[in-house]
Structure 1
């Protein structure tokens, strides 16, 4: 099966013409044409496929292998054909339906998480069609709770309350938006902040405000134990997003295992009450770029390993420079200056701590307004 992102499927002459036009204009699209009405269209591997069996037998494979499936036939037929294939909105592909005259492009499935709304607008622009999008947040011109910070890599702790918080937002109920860390530019450029949403810089500010809310969105790298009544009440009606806002400065002796490094990281974050999901990257000295344990740890969690030269590390003035570290690395410190350089912070959340073969420091990323 092709590595392309989108599959366009057409079963009529007019539909095939539109699908081919789309395939020429929308990159990474493979067009599937029904043989009976394909005329002189020639198959081209990875670009155009001619099929002669029932479209019902083709769709399961397309669902498994493509991010988006574009169907050039009636909405009713599309509903009947894809219904048995649906699993979960977090994994189902985007499905877009276009009538065979190309007058309307309908975002049918996975409008938000699957990107169908965005793809619908793109297809409508290419075909000169009218886009049809029914998702409430898009229609109202506000933001979607389940897509917050997606371009920045924000991760929701849980989807359990996503539906109820989304419902509160689109129905005009009072919603508290608490952002303690992460990128400030989370509101889409074409969206407006509804009047019933109030912004807070911390959970303490929300508690002290007296604001009565029915739902909340919290963007934070901080963990809470939920034992305090106010924290427990907030947790019961909120969605929590973890921004990628933490940098781990790590140093270690040669040959330190990934398991030992991981244990120190997990212990340190737990002590600081910080979320593992909010780690953006690891930073260290350039000579550690081939350290097997560090590479394995970063690979496990998908973290970038950022490396600094001794000259770069020495630009940071340290409270406790180490002659021992200087003789080994050419820098007077590794984990602290690496964390500060990578994060852009002026101070550390956690200064250097030594645990066995590992030293660790933690900093919070400074985001530009």
Structure 2
């Protein structure tokens, strides 16, 4: 049992990603029902409502003010579901708020489980999606007030998130979001990445226009821009970011061969220098690809772990199915494949040609491909 006291931070027993908290008799009924059906959730409620099966159900009981429990939950959970009045929740979480990029999603349920309300971190923190899931589990009404969700338009801070796109900086997220929800003239420039970013049944609003190049978008009057590209922008092109957000889609496949024992520092340096030469962003790298003989190469493993890239290996037979310009008998003698970096990058990306065919640098051979748009 958690004994909550002023000036202490209780040690909770976290098992899931979400915490469900109740402080009333009816709230406990809701918490137990939701906890039995909602995966990856830990249930907390006051000890005076103990039913006798809490240990079996891994419910954590507490004594004292729930306000003293919240700091520990904020530090530990991805989302917090509170069966407490909205006003009380707002007052209790106010001192805990830091940044929308780090605060957990907070959802409130009324005592009769009729309404599920997205309170905090609706987009980045995932509270809006959590609200919908909890409401569906309880057959309740989801309450979401985020403008982009209500108006069914682009959520700027989540644009392309389901594809793994990342934005370059947060500086213009708020003003660009305002332009979108206020139906100002917005241009979407997409040079690479997935095309299925509009996920509503309704058409794209007429205030949002799409263009295939930055130069083309700069030639028209607009109030805000969303730019999706793996390229580094030129000084002239960066004008579009005066009120714009730059997104990096995961579209670059790096094919690589290396000598046994090549250090991760050398591998990383070659990748960085090569991408700079091509004018590509390292944030758009999706995978590092090689032959299966190198699946235990520590330098390659360390680099992919550092950047959270896919580490993909192919058999010689798979690599030999790809036609390359200069098959190497020497490489075949040692590996059974006529090439490594080139066919590996092409296999993963599905590209018919390479942005960089092949470059030898020290102990490393590198090729670069971009997933076709």
The normalised TM-score by structure 1 is 0.95
Is 1:141–1:190's contact at 8 Å kept on the other side of the alignment? no
- In the TM superposition, what is the alpha-carbon distance from 1:150 to its structure 2 partner? 1.1
1:45–1:274 Cα change, 3 Å:
farther
Q: Give 1:309's match in structure 2, choosing from 300, 304, 315.
A: 315
In structure 1, the partner of 2:35 is 23
Quick check: 1:13 aligned with 2:25? yes
In structure 1, the partner of 2:361 is 355
Mapping 1:47-196, distance limit 5 Å = 47-190=58-201, 192-196=203-207
Bigger mean CA deviation after superposition, 140-149 or 122-131: 122-131
Is 2:252–2:371's contact at 8 Å kept on the other side of the alignment? yes
Is 1:335–1:352's contact at 8 Å kept on the other side of the alignment? yes
Is 1:4–1:30's contact at 8 Å kept on the other side of the alignment? yes
Q: Give 1:283's match in structure 2, choosing from 261, 278, 289.
A: 289
Is 1:182–1:244's contact at 8 Å kept on the other side of the alignment? yes
- In the TM superposition, what is the alpha-carbon distance from 1:41 to its structure 2 partner? 4.7
- In the TM superposition, what is the alpha-carbon distance from 1:128 to its structure 2 partner? 2.3
In structure 2, the partner of 1:3 is 15
Cα deviations by residue, 1:293-317 (Å, 9 ceiling, x for unpaired): 1111111111121111111111122
CA distance in 1, matches of 2:102, 2:179: 24
Is 1:30–1:46's contact at 8 Å kept on the other side of the alignment? no
Secondary structure in 1 matching 2:61: strand
Secondary structure in 1 matching 2:250: coil
- In the TM superposition, what is the alpha-carbon distance from 1:330 to its structure 2 partner? 1.1
CA distance in 2, matches of 1:30, 1:85: 20
Q: CA RMSD in A?
A: 1.4
Is 1:143–1:188's contact at 8 Å kept on the other side of the alignment? no
- In the TM superposition, what is the alpha-carbon distance from 1:189 to its structure 2 partner? 4.3
In structure 2, the partner of 1:211 is 220
Quick check: 1:223 aligned with 2:235? no
Give ranges in structure 2 of 5+ residues lacking alignment: 1-12
Is 1:172–1:196's contact at 8 Å kept on the other side of the alignment? yes
Q: Give 2:337's match in structure 1, choosing from 331, 343, 347.
A: 331
Cα deviations by residue, 1:30-79 (Å, 9 ceiling, x for unpaired): 1111122x152532277311111210111111111111111111111001
Secondary structure in 1 matching 2:69: helix
CA distance in 1, matches of 2:282, 2:79: 31
1:110–1:247 Cα change, 3 Å:
same
The normalised TM-score by structure 2 is 0.94
Quick check: 1:35 aligned with 2:47? yes
Is 1:242–1:277's contact at 8 Å kept on the other side of the alignment? yes
Quick check: 1:258 aligned with 2:269? no
Is 2:257–2:290's contact at 8 Å kept on the other side of the alignment? yes
The count of aligned residue pairs is 361
1:224–1:6 Cα change, 3 Å:
same
1:81–1:163 Cα change, 3 Å:
same
1:119–1:283 Cα change, 3 Å:
same
Secondary structure in 2 matching 1:205: helix
Give ranges in structure 1 of 5+ residues lacking alignment: none
1:198–1:249 Cα change, 3 Å:
same
Q: Give 2:210's match in structure 1, choosing from 194, 199, 203.
A: 199
- In the TM superposition, what is the alpha-carbon distance from 1:203 to its structure 2 partner? 1.4
CA distance in 2, matches of 1:52, 1:247: 54
Is 1:142–1:191's contact at 8 Å kept on the other side of the alignment? no
CA distance in 2, matches of 1:274, 1:215: 24
Is 2:187–2:210's contact at 8 Å kept on the other side of the alignment? yes
